[in-house]
């Protein structure tokens, strides 16, 4: 089994909670120096997988490696290499922001003088220096998330796991998070990030792992993703679904319109001409989302 070159590796990992098979066959490869996106619908098993990688939950079966180490056999060694940003903020909110980070530096046995410098550096990095002496509980949700990110980085980990890191962040903080994750990857850190914000992931991720129903549905480099795009069609008169069916064109109807997959802009232009020729009075015709969104919809289609 490859270890060092794969910063994070999972092979046929399974975990159930009573009758629920939360994870039932996940394979994953996350290399150093890249940002890997972990995406999938609610309940797909992403958090369960991340908790297992973060040594906080034991798998029922399968193999896991983090920084070449086994999180089941050697959790303490894994934690020394790993930065973990959970989707919910932890306790200790009576501490000040500075004390909170110092506490985690101490937990990583960082010498006090070094910890002082590192904490100040991190507070600047996540723009919380002005809150250094404030108790953590006064921070807003987004500020707490930035603090959680700083906490994950305290000990300069070589593997960074983030569960929905952008969900509470304002637009500027999201841009900064993107830059920060790219900078970490450029320094050789392996970054695995789960998120539902596909437009943002498509801008920072080098690779994507799709998870659906507790299984890996696909792993790709972003530049290998199918470049077919979904186009959304709306019509004010004429039977749009019937016209598409008659031409054998697969489509998904929902309240915002009818989505079809087309191969290229040229194919989209031809489809529009055909629909008009069929008597459909088209009122809207535009590409939806980006390549990552299209691939996501294709991988999770059977749920509809
Ligand atoms: N501690 C638990 N006890 C019972 N069931 C659980 C537990 N944790 C997770 N599950 C179930 O396992 C499945 C996977 O949950 P998980 O949180 O891993 O999904 P997710 O992909 O992170 O979802 P989301 O995108 O909504 O965060 C869900 O059906 C969930 O209800």
What is the per-residue pLDDT across 124-163, written as a single tens digit (0 to 9) for each?
Answer: 999 999 999 999 999 888 888 899 999 999 999 999 999 9
Question: 52-61, 64-73, 136-145, 257-266: lowest mean pLDDT where?
Answer: 257-266
pLDDT at 231 over 70: yes
Cα–Cα distance for residue pair 151/155, rounded to 1 Å: 8
What average pLDDT score do residues 215-232 get?
Answer: 82
Structural domain contains residue 240: yes
185, 34 Cβ separation under 8 angstroms: yes
Which secondary structure element, helix H or strand E, spans residue 149, and what is its range?
helix 141-153
What pLDDT score does 5 carry?
62
Half-sphere exposure of 71 (CA within 13 A, CB side): 28
Query: Which DSSP helix (H) or strand (E) runs through 50?
Result: helix 46-53
Residue 248's CB is within 10 A of a number of other CB atoms, namely 6
DSSP structure string for 167-188: TT--HHHHHHHHHHHHHHHHTT
C-alpha to C-alpha distance for 76 and 101, rounded to whole angstroms: 19
C-alpha distances (whole Å) from 132 to each of 124, 127, 143, 172, 294 are: 10, 10, 12, 20, 43
Average pLDDT estimate for 276-302? 82
Q: Is the pLDDT of residue 169 over 90?
A: no
- Regarding whether 266 and 169 lie in a shared domain, the answer is no
Considering the domain architecture, whether residues 245 and 99 belong to the same structural domain is answered as no
* Ligand 1 contacts CB of residue 47 (under 6 A): yes
Could you give the CA distance from residue 109 to residue 118 in angstroms, rounded to a whole number? 13
Residues 237 and 120 in one domain: no
Say what the ipTM of the complex is.
0.96
| Predicted local distance difference test score (pLDDT) of residue 2 | 43
Residue whose CA lies nearest to ligand 1 atom number 31: 43
Mutation probe of ligand 1 site: the residue of 10, 16, 20 with most atoms within 8 A of C-beta? 20
Kindly state if the Cβ of 86 falls inside 6 Å of ligand 1.
no
Selected residue with higher pLDDT from 151 and 224: 151
Regarding whether 135 and 75 lie in a shared domain, the answer is yes
- Please give the average per-residue pLDDT across 234-261, as a whole number: 86
208 or 225: which carries more pLDDT confidence? 208
Distance in Å, CA 38 to ligand 1 centroid: 15
Provide the total of helices (H) and of strands (E) in the chain, helices listed first.
Answer: 10, 13
Domain residues for the domain of 164 are 6-224
Per-residue confidence at 227, pLDDT binned at 50, 70, 90? low
Instruction: Record the tokens describing residue 275, joined without a space.
Output: 């629909």
pLDDT of 1? 45
214 versus 5: the higher-pLDDT residue is 214
Whether 65 contacts 2, CB under 8 Å: no
Q: Which of 24-33, 41-50, 170-179, 276-285 shows the lowest per-residue confidence on average (mean pLDDT)?
A: 170-179
Residues 6+ apart with CB under 8 A from 147: 89, 97, 100, 101, 126, 128, 136, 139
| Pocket mutation for ligand 1, best pick of 13, 19, 22 (most atoms within 8 Å of C-beta) | 22
Please list, residue by residue across 106-128, b when 16 or more beta carbons sit within 10 angstroms of its beta carbon and e when fewer do.
Answer: eeeebeeeebeebbeebbebbeb
pLDDT tens digits, 84-126: 998 876 667 789 999 999 999 999 999 999 999 999 999 999 9
Q: How far is the CA of 171 from the centre of ligand 1 (A)?
A: 28
Decide whether any atom of ligand 1 lies within 6 Å of the 20 Cβ: yes
Residues 100 and 234 reside in one and the same domain: no
Q: Which pLDDT does position 104 carry in this prediction?
A: 92
Pocket test for ligand 1, best of 10, 15, 16, 17 (most atoms within 8 A of CB): 17
Report yes or no on 44 lying in a domain. Answer: yes
* Residue listed under structure tokens 């691939």: 295
Look at residue 223 in the predicted model and tell me its pLDDT.
79
Atom of ligand 1 nearest to the CA of 49: 18
Nearest CA to ligand 1 atom 4: 17
Residue 219 has φ and ψ, to the nearest 5°, of -130, 130
Q: 202 pLDDT band (50/70/90 cuts)?
A: confident
Q: Is the pLDDT of residue 3 over 60?
A: no
d(CA 12, ligand 1 centre) in Å: 18
Distance CA 123, CA 115 (A): 12
Same domain, 136 and 268: no
Instruction: At 221, list the tokens.
Output: 């480099």
pLDDT of residue 197: 84
Is 304's pLDDT higher than 80?
Answer: no
Residue 206 and residue 148 share a domain = yes
Average pLDDT, the chain: 89
Whether 140 and 257 map to the same domain: the answer is no
Domain count, the chain: 2
Provide the pLDDT confidence category of residue 228 given band limits of 50, 70 and 90: low
The predicted structure's pLDDT at residue 185: 96
Residue 48 CA, ligand 1 centroid: distance in Å: 6
Residues 129 and 268 in one domain: no
The pLDDT of residue 293 is 79
Closest residue to atom 13 of ligand 1, CA basis: 22
The CB of 43 under 6 Å from ligand 1? The reply is yes
Same domain, 215 and 123: yes
pLDDT at position 287, please?
Answer: 81
Nearest CA to ligand 1 atom 12: 22
Buried b (16+ CB within 10 A) or exposed e, 174-206: bebbbebbbebbeeebbbbbbbebbebbbebbb
Confirm or reject: Cβ of 138 under 6 Å from ligand 1. no
């Amino acid at each position: 089994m490859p270890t060092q070159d794969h910063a994070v590796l999972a092979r046929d990992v399974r975990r159930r909670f009573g009758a629920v098979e939360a994870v039932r066959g996940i394979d994953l490869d996350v290399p150093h120096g890249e940002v890997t996106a972990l995406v999938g619908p609610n309940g797909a098993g992403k958090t369960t997988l991340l908790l297992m990688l973060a040594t906080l939950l034991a798998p029922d079966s399968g193999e896991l490696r983090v920084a070449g180490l086994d999180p089941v056999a050697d959790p303490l060694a894994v934690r020394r290499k790993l930065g973990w940003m959970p989707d919910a903020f932890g306790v200790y909110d009576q501490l000040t922001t500075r004390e909170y980070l110092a506490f985690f530096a101490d937990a990583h046995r960082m010498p006090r003088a070094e910890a002082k410098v590192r904490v100040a550096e991190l507070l600047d990095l996540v723009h919380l220096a002005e809150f250094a002496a404030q108790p953590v509980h006064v921070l807003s949700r987004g500020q707490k998330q930035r603090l959680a990110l700083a906490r994950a980085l305290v000990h300069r980990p070589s593997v960074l796991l983030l569960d929905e890191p952008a969900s509470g962040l304002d637009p500027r903080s999201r841009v900064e998070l993107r830059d920060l994750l790219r900078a970490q990857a450029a320094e050789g850190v392996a970054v695995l990030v789960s998120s539902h914000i596909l437009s943002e992931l498509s801008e920072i991720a080098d690779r994507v792992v799709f998870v659906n129903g507790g299984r890996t549905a696909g792993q790709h480099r972003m530049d290998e993703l199918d470049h077919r795009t979904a186009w959304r069609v709306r019509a004010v008169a004429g039977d749009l679904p019937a016209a598409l069916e008659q031409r054998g064109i697969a489509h998904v109807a929902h309240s915002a319109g009818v989505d079809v997959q087309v191969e290229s802009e040229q194919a989209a232009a031809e489809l529009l001409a055909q629909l008009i020729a069929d008597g459909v009075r088209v009122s809207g015709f535009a590409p939806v989302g980006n390549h990552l969104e299209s691939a996501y919809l294709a991988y999770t289609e059977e749920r509809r």
